[in-house]
Homo-oligomer: A and B are copies of this chain.
Amino acid sequence: SSVTAEEIIDWDPLPVSFHAKNTVNPIRKIVDALSVPPNPEKSLIKLHLGDPTLTGKLPPCEVVTKALIDAVSSHKYDGYGPSVGVIEAREAVVDRYSTKAAPFTADDVILASGASHALQLAIEAVADAGDNILIPAPGFPLYMTLCRPHGIEDRAYRLDMKRGAMVDLKHMESLIDERTKAIIVNNPGNPTGAVFPREHLEEILKIANRHHLTIIADEIYGDLTYDGAEFIPIAELSPKVPVITCDGIAKRWLVPGWRLGWVIVHDRFNVLGDVKQGMIALSQKIVGPCALVQGALPSILRDTPQSFFDNVKDVLSANASVVYNSLRMVPGLHPVRPSGAMYMMVGIDRSVYGDETSFVQGLIREQSVFCLPGSAFSAPNWFRVVLTYPEEVTLEACHRITEYCGDHLNAAPLMSDVLLN
């Protein structure tokens, strides 16, 4: 069974498909850029990973763990369920999220392997090669990763970082043409932490209504708001354009590894029938998410106490204050105060600190603090800070960032002194 010479000689490398070659997640390249040696004298502080479970500060709720163990022990979820998910799990989504202003039934729910998969179902069902979908910038890079292999163009609409990361509505509308199929609205936003007020969402809906565009609402951080900000599901507002809501348990329940999400089809004009059937068909490719987690979903959604969510929000709010109040005092840094999700964006004055890659690399090399460069989110000259660490860690990180800036701020005038002499 050894390989003979003949066998080896005449095989050339086999080509990868266009589809796979165009499946690109910018994060990978960017994380590679972070592989500079940290300062061995300082402990590592990793503010770059959007995984709340890594911080030790935020374990999942016991109710949730118990629900999963019960589902395993019941042996009711060892077999295949329907690709769209078991009925009791879809009913649980209805019980928790259907409202008078935006009612839906279990038939409008498709369970998925995380919100990521929910977004994949939505994007693949609404658009073809040559079509385009509007996505936010700064924004979550997965939208591109999901569009591009299909030849779907992702057109980035600006979030105005000077105005609290609200949508630049004029810019958004200017991007629409006859091949535009949907607008992805991520609220609360990653990486901005912005929470859109009601009137702002209504303005977006007006644009969608004028152009007959479906909204794909990425509400994975829904309800994860603080400092008085209110989360409003876009499907509850008028004008009532068709909305495909993508959500899941990763963030609010702090179990991203469990990979459970869902699509809710809000189809009040009966215009999404074919698209819904399309998503149902697409769900058959991988036959639904892990049935055990589906089996746990009713208890997860019903029994997690409000105090659990309140605690998470308190951590986020406290960290947001710490970071905002520290970094806004640093010359050449421009934090944008968030009120939702788990992140804060900080602008970098390029003329003071150089480009974002060297800033972020410098922070690692000198201070052992890891942040994600904004280019991961189509936002060069920014960096993103994660707000889920213990407050003392966050504070220490801010001290170090401040020290780093101090060191380099001092260097800058010295340089110009040199030039002036």
Q: Quick check: A290 and B78 within 8 Å, CB to CB?
A: no
Is there a chain B Cβ closer than 8 Å to A24's Cβ? yes
In the complex, the chain B residue whose C-beta lies closest to that of A112 is: B286
Is there a chain B Cβ closer than 8 Å to A292's Cβ? yes
Q: List 26 A-B contacts (CB under 8 A).
A: A1-B237, A1-B238, A3-B268, A13-B270, A13-B273, A14-B126, A14-B212, A14-B214, A15-B275, A16-B278, A17-B127, A20-B275, A23-B284, A25-B281, A52-B79, A65-B73, A65-B75, A68-B292, A80-B256, A80-B257, A113-B259, A113-B286, A116-B286, A257-B292, A258-B290, A292-B292
Is there a chain B Cβ closer than 8 Å to A92's Cβ? no
Question: How far is the CB of A269 from the nearest CB of chain B, in Å?
Answer: 5
* Complex Cα spacing A150 to B54, Å: 38
By a CB distance below 8 angstroms, the chain B residues around A128 are: 17-19
Interface range, A side: 35 or more
Q: Quick check: A269 and B8 within 8 Å, CB to CB?
A: yes
Q: Quick check: B59 and A75 within 8 Å, CB to CB?
A: yes
With contacts A14-B212, A17-B125, A24-B281 known, what are 17 further pairs, Cβ within 8 A?
A1-B237, A11-B269, A12-B212, A12-B271, A13-B270, A16-B277, A17-B126, A20-B282, A51-B79, A51-B80, A52-B79, A68-B72, A79-B257, A113-B259, A149-B282, A259-B287, A259-B289
Is there a chain B Cβ closer than 8 Å to A136's Cβ? no
Give which listed residue, B78, B145, B212, contacts A254 with CB less than 8 A: B78
Q: Quick check: A7 and B278 within 8 Å, CB to CB?
A: no
Q: Quick check: B7 and A238 within 8 Å, CB to CB?
A: yes
* Complex Cα spacing A80 to B258, Å: 8
* Complex Cα spacing A237 to B11, Å: 17
Is there a chain B Cβ closer than 8 Å to A204's Cβ? no
Knowing A259-B288, A281-B23 touch, does A72 contact B80 (C-beta < 8 A)?
A: no
